[in-house]
Structure 1
Amino acid sequence: MTVRIPQPRGGTPTTRTRSRGFGRGEPAGFVVLALLLAAFPLLASESVVNVGVYALIYGLAAIGLTLLMGLAGQVSLGQAAFFAISAYGQAVLVTRYQVPMVVAAIIAVGLAMLAALLVGLPLLRLRGHYLALATLGLGIIVTVAATESEFLGATSGIYGVYKPTFGGRRYDSPAEYFWLLAPVVFLALLLARNIVAGRIGRALGAVNDSEVAAECLGVDTFRLRLQVFVLSAGFAGLAGVAYVHWIGVVNPNAANFPLSVEFLLMSVLGGLGSVWGAIIGAFAVELLDEGLRSLIPTLVPGAEGEVQLVGFGVVLTAVILFVPGGIHEVWRRLLARLQRPAPASDEPAAVGTDVEVDAAPLLAREGRPAAGAPLLQVRDLTRRFGGVTAVNAVSFDVRAGEIFALIGPNGAGKTTCFNMISGVLTPSAGSVRLGDTRIDGRKPHVFARARATRTFQNLQIFRSTTVRGNVSVGRHLRSGAGMLRGALSLPARAEERQIQRSVDELLALTGLAADADRPAADLPFGRQRQLEIARALALEPDLLLLDEPMAGLSGAERHDLVRLLRRLRAGGMAIVLVEHDVEAVLALADRVAVLDDGHLIALGTPDEVRQDPAVLAAYLGVGDDQEEVVASAPGADGEPARKDGA
């Protein structure tokens, strides 16, 4: 996307362009991690190094669970099931079929990922505790299947799995096995970090914040959740391979519930907000495990593993209550206090107001339908909620290069129409066509792929990220890096740099450049409205639906928004506007549709609508005290807009 930025007089705004490179302090963090992993076996006793081996093994599974829970927002209690599937697969291949270890590992991890794909297709349609219970059931199924299968050794399991041998060296001591695993864990952490920092990570973080907003920006939420579910199983499968080669045996206990709880505790204690937390949590939990093994029998003579599981439960509950962000969140807050950034200003940034700039078309693109061509066709659109008809047989067209307003009293059905057009709601009857494509009843990401998007009456910003991060999600469909390219990082860097350049241009255009790195949740309400519009424009839509965009804006911000919408119209974009500021809308729109109690009561130019008796009755008592908001704003020709909206 190429955008000409209006420059304020007297200077050029400075914007920062970021690639997907390492953030501040991350390179040093990886260097420190590498040094610690290399030195740990030299500094710790053999028993502690043995604990470290288990921490690395389980840390791999915890990295996958952190991606699934922290990134995709899906709670799983079945991570041990995929761990066990891979461990059993590896044991069978190397002991019974003499498959080389590395080849067997690839097959075993593939089995775990295939199992995740097959169970994820139905299970990921569930949400919240339903998904957690379903994945818990998966672990029980794997445990029972392994116990009852003679091929898998029943309760005894499969034993005799050899220690790894590379270059004529057998890795059979804790120190040697630790050094063998350390590069694997280091690489897994790096790949997971790259995914989180890239296009896929942004999209999944957005889904976790607001699924409907992410869908309306083109994110196929189910597909992405399935991808990360399968990837998470791959990490668990890799951990299962490392586990079976270390202890030499696998039995049904590898899929039991306590192990899933242990993986969960590692992710939560370390911090779901960062993949780094998985490794930190793994070491913390394994050391805690050793401590509980020694402490519980002293406190409760004759206590078995069930009491130890209670200890894990107490720790997990305490973390959720007192440190919900885990160790990573504590560390982040500490750094924030030490850095003490200067407070950000809530004053809107200056946006250029030159007549020449205000008249220039904005975001025009080749291939966009010609001005005046039918773009959106709504026919007999109806929505019923039980016995209540919220929208009844509404029909209208929207043309390219026009501002079309949809107005009406509260409860008239305006937002319901928006929801049906954008795919958030399925119509009870009627049809919606965008160009030549019928989109009614389709998901919002289909609407977005047809180059259309929307904002929301109730703000749907992505609160867990920054202003720049929000607008970057809007570029999801204008970029293409998938899971593999994102993990490898280098192939996606050029694309990421282009995304950030486009984002910085849009932030400057909408007056948000000064807040680019500010948490979106910290913006004032009016600036959050502007952020939603900037994020929608990042999609480069041909059709833009704005649901009450002027709500919460100051007078100056409204003037800027009016200028922006006129420039977008001049660039050929079609804009459908729902707004309660009736006089402002009538002065801005080319055509107006009026809804009342779910029925279309008027459709025409602003002058025609002003004089319609049905409209006058619906709006009895509405004055013109706010008419100057738009009337005084420069029109597309640089002159103040006339009162009749011409």
Structure 2
Amino acid sequence: MKGLYSTSVAAVSVRARLMAPLFYRALPWALVSALWLGLALWSVNAGSFGLHLGAIIAVYALAVVGVDLVAGRAGMLHVGYGVFFGIGAYTLGLAAQHWTVPTLPLVLVATVIAAVVAWALGSLLAPLGGYLFALATLSTSAIFESLLRNLPGFGGTSGLGGISRDMVGTGALDGRAVFFLLLGLAAVVVALYSNLRRSRLGRAIEAMRLTPNVAQASGVDIAALRSQLFVLSGAIGGLSGALFALTVQYVSPDLFGVLASINFLVMNVVGGQGVAWGGLPGALLVRALPQAVQELRDYQLLVLGLVTALVVLAFRRGIAGSMEQLWDRLRDRIMPVVQAGAAATALTATDDDAAALSPASSGRRNGGDEAALRVEGLTVRFGGLVALDEVSLQVRSGQVVALIGPNGSGKTTLVNAIAGTVRPTSGRIWLDDEELTGMTPVERASKGIARTFQLVSLCQTLSALENVMLGAHAFAKAGIAQGLLPFLARREEEALQRSALEVMEALGIAHLAASRPSELSSGQARLVEVARCLMSRAKVILLDEPAAGLHAGERANLAQVIHRLARSGRGVLLIEHDMGFVMGLADSVVVLCDGRLLAQGSPREVRQDRRVIEAYLGEVVQL
């Protein structure tokens, strides 16, 4: 496969398919630029009132980035963002009562304090998830607002004033300077946040939200990632709160309580969750619209409610999300021409391509005699139900071991126990000479266990290529800083993309690199799952019914792929119901029945075993 990317027509077509959407990704940013420019022109022309309102809108657009990190990207219903916003604002308000110092250091201190509080709260609340997380964060908003009203020195319901606009000790900024400072800072933060989506961390966040089982199997530590996002969200909240206090030069409890937290969430939903620039249209609707209709007085609330309802009905994914969906539809009309050209020139993988699986190589020799995976006396009980009872097996490097048995025999439970998603009651699991029994799924992924799932499990918001690259999460290094500033990890990201394309080319699916999972056939989606496993540098791959739902041609292609996986030196544990598929592929067959090991041996031995015939196969098949 050397020289593949300089000579392969398919690879050139794939690159064209990957690069072409860059033009279409530029279209939403053209709209964003127009919105920023329109806000700037209106604010300047509207005088001091316009500059003040424009600065507030910019602050809220910045603040919603922090909300979206948790609520939009991570999928955690965050109803306590006003706490961090208030911490940032009150840091400046309290400091103004005691010291006369430049504001810039106080803004930085406020950001750090909010991040520390977010770390403490995240450690307690992030593991909850779902509505419990929403209720817990809502409670923190109520507690915070009550403390602001009642603690001595915080100004009570009257609040605190006298906040200086002197940033660095050279004199106070006027309204125009504050507006352009905040508008520019908000634009920079939104631009940095948009980079996160196409990074190692961005792929992990998408998988965590939509396919947490795949995220764990790929080495994503979900609890740690949620905590990191919560801290970053809190820091952005503290920063934006401090800048809000700088703008209005006054703070009071009602600006940072329960209602404020709900408003932040509304801005995120209406603007477009998961879209970097969604905070701007959200802030315009929630903060600017009330100002525009305030003269209606008694009918103001009615108009606001009607407009919000109409926006929600017309833009189901929020304003920004619906606009990006429109761009995607435009891309789909244009790009199939490119994709078809790539498909026409796609390479057909052969056994000679086994070496191409080396980018994720386990470093093993082919056909080794050592046991890569050993399961000893594994028992799994769910209450009074014994799902597995003293099951033992081995998978050697370069070997395909088929795991068969009737429905409910414990096959998937065994795979889940090996992968770490089910905790065994007793027994031990070894990979080479290292025991895995007490390890988490993330730790097992990093040691060399990879898996597919009974139902095809791909992250729908990632392209096929990005789904494959997700498999490399455990050994890639880029973190939050590299996600926000992609030039810091450009070399690693380009290397991962090259490796992922090489693996996909070896499996005959490189022409699908830029396709969405919804555009793939069942067989193509299965191969993308296998490619994701290969990117993990797995020593043993667990395949849970990979041939389910495939037609004859796809099954034959999958059989060749599994054969080449074994030739590359990996061990393969294969669950499958298609006996023709299994018996022509496996080196060894393990049969489970009612959670017990019924038989084990070569395909010929198993097919002739009377117990297997009675329990599962139904009749002897002549070889």
* Fold equivalence (TM over 0.5): yes
Write the letter of the residue equivalent to 2:402. Answer: A
Which residue type is aligned with residue 159 of structure 1? G
* 1:474 partner amino acid: G
Mark the CA change 1:347 to 1:381 in structure 2 (over 3 Å): closer, same or farther: farther
Structure 1 residues 459, 320: CA separation in 2 closer, same or farther (over 3 Å shift)? Answer: farther
Tell me: CA distance 1:230–1:43, structure 2 relative to 1, closer, same or farther (3 Å). same
**2:13 pairs with 1:14:** yes
| Conservation of the 8 A alpha-carbon contact between 1:157 and 1:252 | yes
What letter is aligned with 1:60? Answer: L
State yes or no: 1:298 paired with 2:317: no
Distance verdict in 2 for CA 1:97–1:462, change over 3 Å? same
Q: Mind listing any 5+ residue stretches in structure 1 that lack a counterpart?
A: 301-307, 628-642
Q: Which stretch shifts more, 588-597 or 380-389?
A: 380-389
Distance 1:10 1:37 in 2: 47
TM-score, scaled relative to structure 1:
0.88
1:324 and 2:316 matched: yes
Mark the CA change 1:507 to 1:317 in structure 2 (over 3 Å): closer, same or farther. Answer: farther
Alignment check: 8 A CA contact 2:278 2:320 kept: yes
Q: What secondary structure is seen at the aligned counterpart in 2 of 1:546? A: strand
CA contact (8 A) 1:545 1:575 kept: yes
Partners in 2 of 1:328 and 1:401 — Cα distance? 50
Q: Which residue of 1 aligns with 2:235?
A: 234
- Given candidates 46, 49, 52, the residue that maps to 1:50 is 52
Q: 1:337 to 1:480 in 2, by over 3 A?
A: closer
TM-score scaled by structure 2?
0.91
SS in 1 for 2:600: strand
1:262·1:312 contact (CA, 8 Å) conserved in 2?
Answer: no
In 1, the alpha carbon distance for the partners of 2:168 and 2:488 equals 31
Displacement of 1:29 after TM fit? 5.9
> 1:615: Cα distance to partner?
1.0
Q: Cα RMSD (Å) of the superposition?
A: 3.1
Alpha-carbon distance, 1:477 to partner: 2.1
In 1, distance between residues paired with 2:474 and 2:267? 34
Query: Does residue 497 of the first structure (1) align with residue 498 of the second (2)?
Result: no
In structure 2, C-alpha distance between the alignment counterparts of 1:22 and 1:169, rounded to whole Å: 44
Q: Give 1:255 shift.
A: 2.2
The percentage of counterpart residues that share the same residue type is 34
Measure how far apart 1:92 and its partner are: 2.2
- 3-state SS, counterpart of residue 121 of structure 1: helix
Give 3-state SS (helix, strand or coil) of 2:334's partner. coil
* Alpha-carbon distance in structure 2 between the residues aligned to 1:37 and 1:9: 48
The answer for the alignment partner of 2:348 in structure 1 is 352
Q: Which amino acid aligns with 1:243?
A: F
Instruction: Give the aligned partner of residue 143 of structure 2.
Output: 141
- Partner of 1:16: helix, strand, or coil? helix
Bigger drift between 140-149 and 552-561 goes to 552-561
User: Separation in 1 of the partners of 2:61 and 2:395?
Assistant: 54
Distance 1:189 1:417, change over 3 A: same
The residue number in structure 2 matching 1:582 is: 579
What are the within-5 Å matches in structure 2 for residues 210-221 of structure 1? 210-221=211-222
Q: Which position in structure 1 is the counterpart of 2:463?
A: 466
Q: Which residue of 2 aligns with 1:409?
A: 406
The alpha carbon displacement at 1:138 in A equals 0.7
Q: 2:110 aligns with which of 108, 111, 114?
A: 108
Query: What do residues 224-254 of structure 1 show as CA deviations (whole Å, max 9, x unaligned)?
Result: 1111111111111111101111222222223
> CA, structure 1 residues 292+425, in 2 after alignment: closer, same or farther (shift >3 Å)?
farther
Q: State the match for 1:224 in structure 2.
A: 225
Equivalent residue of 2:391, what SS? strand
**Residues 217, 312 of structure 1: alpha-carbon distance in 2 compared, 3 angstrom cutoff:** farther
1:89 aligns with 2:91: yes
In the alignment, does 2:480 pair up with 1:483? yes
Equivalent in the alignment of 2:64:
62
Deviations 1:70-108 (A, max 9, x none): 211111000001101111122223441444322111111
Q: Distance in 2 between matches of 1:179 and 1:598?
A: 68
Of the three residues 517, 535, 541, the one matched with 2:514 is 517
Structure 2: state its 5+ residue gaps: none
Kindly indicate whether the alpha-carbon contact (under 8 Å) linking 2:10 and 2:346 is maintained by their aligned counterparts in 1: no
Structure 2 partner of 1:179: 180
Contact 1:547 1:578 in 2 (8 A): yes
| CA separation of 1:337 and 1:460: change in aligned 2, threshold 3 A | closer
Q: Does the 8 Å contact 1:406/1:595 carry over to 2? A: yes
Q: Please say if residues 10 and 343 of structure 2, whose CA atoms lie closer than 8 Å, have aligned partners that are also in contact.
A: no
What's the offset of the Cα at 1:214? 0.8
Q: Output one character per residue of 1:288-313: Cα deviation in whole Å (capped at 9) or x when no partner.
A: 22245333x2338xxxxxxx5x8767
CA pair 52-12 structure 1, distance change in 2 beyond 3 A:
closer
* Aligned counterpart, 1:436: 433
Show CA shifts across 1:316-372 (max 9, x none): 665555522111233224334555225466989855355644798756747447722
- Aligned partners of 1:547, 1:324: CA distance in 2, in Å? 36
Cα distance in 2, alignment partners of residues 380 and 533 from structure 1 = 29
For 1:357 and 1:251, locate their aligned partners in 2 and report how far apart those are by CA, in whole Å: 67
Tell me which residue corresponds to 2:545. Answer: 548
Higher helix share: 2
In 2, Cα distance between equivalents of 1:622 and 1:409: 14
AA at the equivalent of 1:527: Q
Aligned-pair distance for 1:465?
A: 2.0
Is 1:398 the counterpart of 2:395? The answer is yes
Q: Describe how 1:242-641 pairs up with structure 2 within 5 A.
A: 242-295=243-296, 297-299=297-299, 308=301, 319-339=311-331, 340-341=333-334, 343=336, 351-352=347-348, 356-357=352-353, 365=361, 367-368=363-364, 371-621=368-618
Change (3 A) 1:404 1:315: farther
Q: Secondary structure at the match of 1:278?
A: helix
| Aligned pairs (5 A) from 1:29-40 | 32=34, 35-36=37-38, 38-40=40-42
Question: SS of the counterpart of 2:13?
Answer: coil
2:456 aligned counterpart, secondary structure: coil
Paired position in structure 2 for 1:630 = none
State the 1:549 CA deviation: 0.8
Alignment of 1:142-181 (within 5 A): 142-165=144-167, 168-173=170-175, 175-181=176-182
The partner residue of 1:73 within 66, 72, 75 is 75
Query: CA offsets, 1:199-237, max 9 Å, x none?
Result: 111110111111011110011111111111111111111
Amino acid at match of 2:434: T
